[in-house]
Structure 1
Amino acid sequence: MSESSLDAMIDRLRRLGLEPTEIEVKAAAGGLPKTVGETLSAFSNGDGGTLLLGLDEDGFRPANGFDAAKIRDALATVCHQKMSPPIRTAIEIIDFEDAQVVRLDVEELDPVDKPSFIAERGEYNGSFIRGGDGDRRLSRYEVTQLLSNRDQPTHDQEIVDEAAIDDLDPRLVEQVLRHAADRSPRAFEGVEPITALKRLGAVQELNGTPRPTLAGLLSLGVYPQQFFPQLFASVVVLPTTQMGELGPEGERFLENVTVDGPIPVILHEVTAVLRRNMSRAAIVRGLGREDRYDYPTEVIRELITNALMHRDYSPESRGTQVQIELYPDRLVVKSTGGLFGGVTVDQLGAARIESKSRNATLAKLLADVPLPDRPNETIAENRGSGLVTAVAALRKAGMSPPEFDAEPGRLMVTVPRTALLAPQTIEWIASLGLAELTDAQHLALAIMRSSGRVSVGMLRAWGVSDTDARRAVRDLVARGVAIRTGGKRYASYRLIEEVDQLPLPGLDAAAVAADATEREGIEAELDVIVQAIQAGHTTSRGMVEHLGMGYQTVLRRLRELEDRGIVEPTRPKKSSKQSYRIVGQ
């Protein structure tokens, strides 16, 4: 760790006047604080963080009487001997303002190795997580959820002994058995319904009598809430951006709905509630039209399905429902259980992660349950592709991927409403009177309108292929809507009306026609990086993979954007899981 990196971190602390969640500062002038173990556990169980010793918390100045070598050795003893699993990260002594500071960057622990805990206190008393006001001890439920990552839960396979076969919806049962027989004739064609339901995990024998399982009731039940009153979904539509804040007419909610029934019914009705509370615009496609909402319908379906299918169904959490909140600026979905199966927040929505379900039987069963409004499609593919599909749909609409806030025992997914292709932007594009625009052209026009220009690289960041991107911008130029600036390598495209009416600083008519200067090329690459982060490619490796830019070029552009205060890293400088975000977002 260089002194300049430490200088930048402490400068940030002084500007903020407080410690952000990912940094813990201690003076440690009188010895190693007793709470250091709690902080190490909290960082390891969360997103990681940085411990700085030798600074006064008031003003973040070097602490008088601080013995860096002594504190480093004491900290090493705690890391190696008193934490389970031991923390092996190097501890550094760094010169700072004629004094010394001890720094330790703690990485997030692999999910299957959590929880990190103070050995002498044990897992249930010595495990911590970062909170808004410091380190908080994990509850017994939260620790149990972390430990469940090491095994396959079977709560969805439990027999509901109060329920009977008559508590399953005959219509849903018929549809599922038909789909299962088409999918796997050898196992299901011509088989007695009860036998088929057993093979699907929807039914098991109890003292010689077939009874529905929890998975069977949730997927195929007439009314599962008869047996589990809280296993429903709540939907609230808020008038302001803060829960509990009243609207202009004193209203607390614009809509407040409890949605129950089996999962296919919940999914259908939640989608309907959200759609009627969103604005929409139409895109003309030949002789037909396609409605576009604030949030793509497939995104809503995937997020709600994911919450219902992967939430925790252990007895301890059956008193908690899935919660959906629609604010003017965001959509939020909350569920119990947290992440499962060794998956981290950074991996959610990525195409190449191993699929593992907390509720394996339920996930398999939902792969045969049809959507109420699309009988030829099932609720889940059981391929781990749900969030991947949602992220792709968001990028297609020019929207940033979901933000995932995961803690032990809880997962919150937030989709910002801000979109390049918001309904008002779609209406503006329609006002241009351009026929038969492609999805890539809609996105290109939206980027030009919001950012001042678009390039093939910027479109690539949103998942558009090079071929489709080049075809899209060339056609817009041919139609007289856009004008090309820059040379072959750094070509950008701007709306003609903006070039004519709103001259860009330093860009005269001659510059528009001339080849781009080196600075213009750098600015174009910086624009591409910003678009990539907004599209969810937040790691340097991800940017290299999706943008076709060299690794060193990406790193240089990220450093320049950091220097300008446009982007900032989300983790310590040396973190192997480093990612970036737009400042203020």
Structure 2
Amino acid sequence: MTITPNDIYNLIHQGESTSVEIKKCSDSLPRSVWETYSAFANTRGGVILLGITEHKDRPLESRFEITGVSDPDKIETDFFNMLNNRQKVSRNILFDSDFRPVEIEGKTVIYISVPEADYHKKPIYINDNIVDGSYKRSHEGDRRLDKEGLAMMLRDSTDDIDSQILEHYGLEDIDEETLRGYRQVFDTANPGHAYTNLDNKEFLYRMGGYDYDRHREIEGLTIAGLMMFGKGTPIEKRFPLFRMDYLDLIGVKPGGDLKWNDRLTYDGRWENNLYNFVTMTMRKLLFTLPSEGRIVGEARRDGGPLYDGIREAIINSVTYSDFQTEGVLRIDRRDNEIILRNPGLLRISADRIYNGDFTHARNRNIQKMFRMIGYGDNIGSGFQKILAAWNTLGYLRPDLKELEDVKEVWLSLPLASSSKKDEGTSNNDSTVNSTAITIEKGGQEQVNRNQEQVKERVKEQVKEQVNLSDKQKEILLYLLDHPSASLKSCSDATGASAMSIRYTFKKVKSWLDIRHEGPDKTGIWSFEVISTPKSK
């Protein structure tokens, strides 16, 4: 990519920020350039501009003066010599093309692009001192990492955090009832599995919950084993900064007497390990949401994209939690959204995650344990599954962010439609008979009065369906009013994808048969009520 003078002007006019550092430089490198290099590499990357003088007493529009670098070749040589000196910089993560001289106003400005380092390589530090030489970018300044921040970054540089053996923690710290319940679900999900007949110790070993270190001659529960199946007291003593909380806040007003409708927290009534927290929270949370009933064999199985997306979100929060930093794994069920919080920061930027990039989970053994009973996966596609589910449902896009000050990641799952329209709700309980509505195309709609009445009653039934999102109702109402519309025109009018439209048809097929007759562009939609829908 070519860097132009206009690019430099734009950066100067924006001023210094979390991703831009501007430094005066004439014939020698400023010493502080290495602190900025470390800070950008350990945060989200950034650009260093050399050859620009800052006048702090001036307003932003005239604060920075292009004074130029007097000997660009010398600066480049000195820069890369220092960058490749392990006594000065722990690691070189730049390419030659990341250092670019730019001619502007008859002077030379140096543009240095510093990428974010791969989390396996962090921290990038200077002066051969990982404690005092590790920096992070905060606003427009470089800040030395504190003890906790450095420890978090070092933990994040490995992908097997939860495989660490906890000395002096053994099978006596496992809650037998929790492990027995998990194994029953495991056997049901994996009939005939080779692990079925193993004793508990060997089962935990195979699942990553127990391990041996022959070099150190120790054995015991791993972090995964204790956190997943342990008794509450040993977990609290080993990880005193970590806790779990679920709150049902539906209808709860800030400042009111009612603080919550339901809560799952450390109260001595359950063994507060991860398996119990996840399964109990899912039961409580999913009970507050509409379910799509599916018949599997002869049994009804509740689910659909909403349930699947929420399960994926909960497992993501658990498997990316940093148990060794102060924080809470908390799930709030609010009126129009679900908020999930977990301790720890994102290992890559939120933008990269939205674009499909991913990292390995912090707690891969815990991830494996949940995956083996049908919760989540381990191929890094979890967040994309959540986005796809919310897109299918027509909900607003989930919001993922990290809060640096409290060292937590928050994921907000809106339960509101992305439509700007607000559909009314009918209280009409009239029953719709099994009647076909076929509307023919031909300049104007040819329908008799009876068909029009039935169509209106179908619309009322659609509005009353609690298991349909606002977006799904909007799709059906649009097609009832525009039977000659194509999928594309329906998508353009409602903002729903073709996948969302087809999924909507699937959700109502138990009581409403929807067919498209004729060519894609010139055909018509027909609707036949085949049973009385249930509005609850």
Normalised TM-score (structure 1): 0.58
1:470 CA drift (Å): 13
CA distance, structure 2, for counterparts of residue 24 and residue 193 of structure 1: 56
- CA drift at 1:117: 2.4
Tell me how far 1:413 sits from its aligned partner.
3.0
1:180 deviates by 4.5
- Give the match's secondary structure for 2:117: coil
Q: Residue 112 of structure 2 aligns with which residue?
A: 104
1:307 to 293, 317, 320: 317
The 1:368–1:408 alpha-carbon spacing in structure 2 relative to 1, beyond 3 Å, is farther
Deviation at 1:402, TM superposition (A): 3.3
Post-superposition shift, 1:175? 4.1
Q: Which residue of 2 aligns with 1:359?
A: 363
Q: Give 3-state SS (helix, strand or coil) of 1:187's partner.
A: coil
- Displacement of 1:263 in angstroms is 1.5
User: What's the offset of the Cα at 1:176?
Assistant: 1.6
Q: For 1:452-471, what per-residue CA distance to the aligned partner results, in whole angstroms no more than 9, with x for missing partners?
A: x9857769997644994999
Q: CA deviation at 1:184?
A: 6.9
**1:250 Cα offset (Å):** 9.2
Instruction: State the shift of 1:131 in Å.
Output: 1.1
1:150-165 matches, cutoff 5 A: 151-153=158-160, 155-159=162-166, 161-165=168-172
1:216 matched to 2:212: no
Displacement after TM superposition at 1:123 (Å): 2.7
| Equivalent position of 2:142 in the other structure | 135
2:130 maps to which residue?
123
In 2, Cα distance between equivalents of 1:36 and 1:182? 56
3-state SS, counterpart of residue 6 of structure 2: helix
- Counterpart of 2:277 in structure 1 is 266
1:388 maps to 2:388: no
Letter in 1 for 2:384: V
Distance 2:258 2:32 in 1: 45
Matched, 1:442 2:446: no
SS of the equivalent of 2:385 reads helix
Distance 1:441 1:155 in 2: 41
Contact 2:163 2:365 in 1 (8 A): yes
TM superposition shift of 1:156? 3.7
Work out whether residues 440 and 468 of structure 1, in 8 Å CA contact, stay in contact via their aligned partners in 2: no
- Deviations 1:302-357 (CA, angstroms, capped at 9, x unpaired): 333222223234xxx165432446788875544344456xx66444366675x734
**Match of 2:391, as an amino acid?**
R
- Which residue of structure 1 aligns with residue 33 of structure 2? 36
* Deviation at residue 441 of structure 1 after TM alignment: 6.8
**Structure 2 counterparts to residues 541-556 of structure 1, below 5 A:** none
Counterparts in 2 of 1:172 and 1:107: CA distance versus 1, 3 Å? same
Structure 1 residues 428-459: Cα deviation after superposition (integer angstroms, max 9, x where no partner): 699985366998972875999xxxx9857769
- 2:67 alignment partner, SS class: coil
Q: Secondary structure at the match of 2:104?
A: strand
> Could you list the per-position Cα deviations for residues 154-198 of structure 1 after superposition, in whole angstroms to 9, with x for gaps in the alignment?
544524635544742336425425625863736224444443343
> Structure 1 CA distance, aligned partners of 2:335 and 2:75?
50
Residue identity in the other structure for 2:33 = V
Please show how residues 102-251 of structure 1 align to structure 2 within 5 Å: 102-118=110-126, 120-132=127-139, 134-148=141-155, 151-153=158-160, 155-159=162-166, 161-165=168-172, 167-170=174-177, 172-176=179-183, 179-180=186-187, 183=190, 185=192, 187-203=194-210, 212-223=221-232, 225=235, 227-228=237-238, 229-235=240-246, 247=254
Letter in 2 for 1:360: R
Question: What is the aligned partner in structure 2 of residue 23 from structure 1?
Answer: 20
Work out whether 1:45 is the aligned partner of 2:42. Answer: yes
User: How far has the Cα of 1:261 moved from its partner?
Assistant: 1.3
Deviations 1:262-281 (A, max 9, x none): 223212444567679x8x78
Q: Report the CA distance between 1:360 and its aligned residue.
A: 3.0
Q: How does 1:362-441 map to 2 (within 5 A)?
A: 362-369=366-373, 378-398=374-394, 399-405=396-402, 410=407, 412-415=409-412, 417=414, 419-421=416-418, 425=422, 434=459
Task: Evaluate the alpha carbon distance shift between residue 418 and residue 443 of structure 1 in structure 2; reply closer, same or farther with a 3 A threshold.
Answer: same
Match of residue 86 from structure 2: none
> Residue type matched to 1:234 in 2?
D
Deviations 1:463-520 (A, max 9, x none): 6449949999xxxxxxxxxxxxxxx9xxxxxxxxxxxxxxxxxxxxxxxxxxxxxxxx
The SS at the match of 1:61 is helix
Cα deviation digits, residues 107-138 of structure 1 (max 9, x gap): 222333332222x2433322211113522112
Shift of 1:37: 1.8
TM-superposed deviation, 1:379? 3.3
Which residue matches 1:562? Answer: none
CA–CA separation in structure 2 for the residues paired with 1:28 and 1:418: 53
Task: Please tell me whether the aligned partners of residues 249 and 332 of structure 2 are also in contact (alpha carbons under 8 angstroms).
Answer: yes
1:62 deviation in Å?
A: 6.8
1:77 matches 2:107: no
Q: CA deviation at 1:81?
A: 1.2
Provide the rounded CA distance (Å) in 2 between the counterparts of 1:306 and 1:359: 10
How well do the aligned residues superpose, as a CA RMSD in angstroms? Answer: 5.4
5+ residue gaps in structure 1?
241-245, 370-377, 473-487, 489-585
CA contact (8 A) 1:202 1:213 kept: yes
How do 1:306-345 residues align onto structure 2 when only pairs under 5 Å count? Answer: 306-313=316-323, 317=324, 320-324=327-331, 332-339=339-346, 345=350
Mapped contact 1:142–1:409 kept (Cα < 8 A)? no
CA–CA distance in 1 between the matches of 2:356 and 2:65? 51
Q: 1:414 to 1:368 in 2, by over 3 A?
A: closer
Matched AA of 1:41: S
Question: What is the distance in 2 between the residues matched to 1:429 and 1:106?
Answer: 58
After TM superposition, the structure 1 stretch with the greater mean CA deviation from structure 2, 188-197 or 438-447, is 438-447
Deviation at 1:253, TM superposition (A): 8.4
Deviation at 1:227, TM superposition (A): 4.1
Normalised to the residue count of structure 2, the TM-score between the two structures is 0.62
The count of aligned residue pairs is: 440
Amino acid at match of 1:115: P
- Residue 101 (structure 1) shift: 4.4
What residue identity is the alignment partner of 1:112? Answer: H
User: 1:335 aligns to what SS in structure 2?
Assistant: strand
2:104 aligned residue = 95
Once residues 154 and 413 of structure 1 are traced to their aligned partners in structure 2, the CA distance between those partners, rounded to angstroms, is 21
Give the one of 6, 10, 24 matched to 1:4: 6
